[in-house]
Amino acid sequence: MKNLKIDAERLWDELMETAQIGGTPKGGICRLTLTDLDRQVRDWFKARCEALGCAVTVDDMGNMFARRPGTRADVPPIAMGSHLDTQPTGGKFDGALGVLAALEALRALHMAGYQTFAPIEVVNWTNEEGARFAPAMIASGVFAGVFTRDWAAARQDRSGETFGAALEAIGYRGPQRCGEHKLSAFFEVHIEQGPYLEAEGKDIGVVTGVQAMRWYEITVTGQDTHAGTTPMPRRHDALLAAARLVEAVNAAARKHPVAVGTVGLLEVKPGAPNVVPGEVFSMIDMRDPDPAVLDRMENDIEAAAAALRTGLGVEIAIKNIWTQPPQPFDPDCVAAVRGAAQVSGFTTRDMISGAGHDAAYVARVAPSAMIFVPCKDGISHNEIEYSSKEQCAAGAQVLLQAVLDYDRRLAERYER
């Protein structure tokens, strides 16, 4: 079992091959969820899995499951995977590594003719990024029963198209009801997306959980007026209020040692150089391992908004659209990851994920854990995002080893 090896070249070639689907001139990927590019990469994924003899099923949120049978068809599969959608200026590794490392691990089993106890699956979760349809991890959220299917299907992108219509349009609304697909366990490989592994020279992050996160929609309403004729004291400038709110979010996060707060989206209306902006739509993303810290940040932002309402004579509506509590991973799965890294000769560091991941939702309904690999300068959600061939291969090798270890323990548990 220790000799079963993934093929680093094959994994790297597939990462580079799929990076062409939505590839950008700067070397990244723009493959927003449920677009035609997403359909293309899904078709590619399905074909590769079927070529390995896997049966591919799709649920009604577009989540894809490629199954390799085990000796016991009645045992729920041990799944591994991540997402194939990207940010608008995404890199080649965020999500793709988790799916393609899983595909490579499954291929290693296939080529060795290795018979597992449980079926093994590779999963591609829909809309992990939340870049087109907010919030992030919608489909794994429905899978875990956190969101209803109808609520998810009705989510709209900024052009007003719904998740449901977009899913239908690319032909990936499957017959299986999302959430009915049972899993024995779930393992996800991902680039760290932060600086710690590289800085400390560690090969593998053993992820013990995911921090808490919240998203808010902000609508600031002022008054459109002439930029040349409206005296400064008579203005109700929605953008000025939004700009001050951006400062308030930053200041709220900086009060705490590890909290982060971001305004990454701002839409200004009507958007002309000579009109004082009358409306701004924006979104806040804030995160910390401790939800009490997020409560304090929320209070600070509310207080800043109250002052801006009176000071600038604008309306500010703040709507919380997503609250994700901290999510610890399953101790047995985490131990399987740690053991797999050690047996493969890699150095490790335990860590909490700053980024959100499908595994955080899947963990609510199946034992789950994650494996991180370092990425250059800790940069992600950027076209220059980079992890080396060896780093990607290490993640895939640990994934394979962890799944095999978990499978062996599962067999013992069933046969006891």
The site for ligand GLV (CB under 6 A) is made up of: 129, 136, 355-356
> Smallest gap, in angstroms, from Cβ of residue 298 to ligand GLV?
18
Closest CA to 340 of 403, 388, 392: 403
Does 192 bind Mn ion (CB under 5 A)? Our answer is: no
Helix (H, G, I), strand (E, B) or coil at 176: strand
By beta-carbon proximity to ligand GLV, the closer residue of 129 and 157 is: 129
Q: Is there a contact between 62 and 126 (Cβ–Cβ < 8 Å)?
A: yes
By beta-carbon proximity to Mn ion, the closer residue of 171 and 264 is: 264
Q: Is there a contact between 179 and 344 (Cβ–Cβ < 8 Å)?
A: no
Distance CA 81, CA 62 (A): 14
Distance CA 40, CA 35 (A): 9
By beta-carbon proximity to Mn ion, the closer residue of 130 and 261 is: 130
Distance CA 184, CA 116 (A): 13
Does 279 bind Mn ion (CB under 5 A)? Our answer is: no
> Smallest gap, in angstroms, from Cβ of residue 136 to ligand GLV?
5
Residue 136: contacted member of Mn ion, ligand GLV, none (CB under 5 to 8 Å, by partner type): ligand GLV
> Smallest gap, in angstroms, from Cβ of residue 363 to ligand GLV?
15
The residues near 165 (Cβ < 8 Å, ≥ 6 apart) are none
Does 385 bind Mn ion (CB under 5 A)? Our answer is: no
Residue 405: contacted member of ligand GLV, Mn ion, none (CB under 5 to 8 Å, by partner type): none
Query: Over the range 144-155, which residues count as b (16 or more CB within 10 Å of their CB) and which as e?
Result: bebbebeebbeb
Does 405 bind Mn ion (CB under 5 A)? Our answer is: no
Per-residue binding string, Mn ion, 44-83, x by CB under 5 A, is: ----------------------------------------
By beta-carbon proximity to Mn ion, the closer residue of 94 and 192 is: 94
By beta-carbon proximity to ligand GLV, the closer residue of 87 and 348 is: 87
Does 94 bind Mn ion (CB under 5 A)? Our answer is: yes
By beta-carbon proximity to ligand GLV, the closer residue of 109 and 210 is: 210
> Smallest gap, in angstroms, from Cβ of residue 131 to ligand GLV?
8
> Smallest gap, in angstroms, from Cβ of residue 404 to ligand GLV?
28
> Where in 288-327 is the site for Mn ion (CB under 5 A)?
none
Q: Is there a contact between 338 and 305 (Cβ–Cβ < 8 Å)?
A: no
The residues near 161 (Cβ < 8 Å, ≥ 6 apart) are none
Q: Is there a contact between 145 and 151 (Cβ–Cβ < 8 Å)?
A: no
Residue 356: contacted member of ligand GLV, Mn ion, none (CB under 5 to 8 Å, by partner type): ligand GLV
By beta-carbon proximity to ligand GLV, the closer residue of 129 and 405 is: 129
Distance CA 183, CA 167 (A): 24
> Smallest gap, in angstroms, from Cβ of residue 128 to ligand GLV?
6
Q: Is there a contact between 297 and 256 (Cβ–Cβ < 8 Å)?
A: yes
Q: Nearest 5°: CA angle at 20, between 16 and 26?
A: 90
Does 95 bind Mn ion (CB under 5 A)? Our answer is: yes
Phi, psi dihedral angles at 152 (to 5 degrees): -65, -45
> Smallest gap, in angstroms, from Cβ of residue 83 to ligand GLV?
9
DSSP state of 179: T
> Smallest gap, in angstroms, from Cβ of residue 64 to Mn ion?
16
Q: Nearest 5°: CA angle at 16, between 13 and 19?
A: 145
Per-residue binding string, Mn ion, 141-160, x by CB under 5 A, is: --------------------
Phi, psi dihedral angles at 39 (to 5 degrees): -60, -45
Does 85 bind Mn ion (CB under 5 A)? Our answer is: no
> Smallest gap, in angstroms, from Cβ of residue 176 to ligand GLV?
25
Residue 174: contacted member of ligand GLV, Mn ion, none (CB under 5 to 8 Å, by partner type): none
> Smallest gap, in angstroms, from Cβ of residue 364 to Mn ion?
18
N-term to C-term CA, the chain? 22
Residue 95: contacted member of ligand GLV, Mn ion, none (CB under 5 to 8 Å, by partner type): Mn ion
By beta-carbon proximity to Mn ion, the closer residue of 162 and 382 is: 382
Token pair 């390799």 is at which residue? 68
- 323, β-bridge pairs: 214
Does 356 bind Mn ion (CB under 5 A)? Our answer is: no
Distance CA 281, CA 155 (A): 16
Evaluated on CA atoms 398, 207, 137, 89, the torsion sign reads negative
Binding residues vs Mn ion (CB under 5 A): 94-95
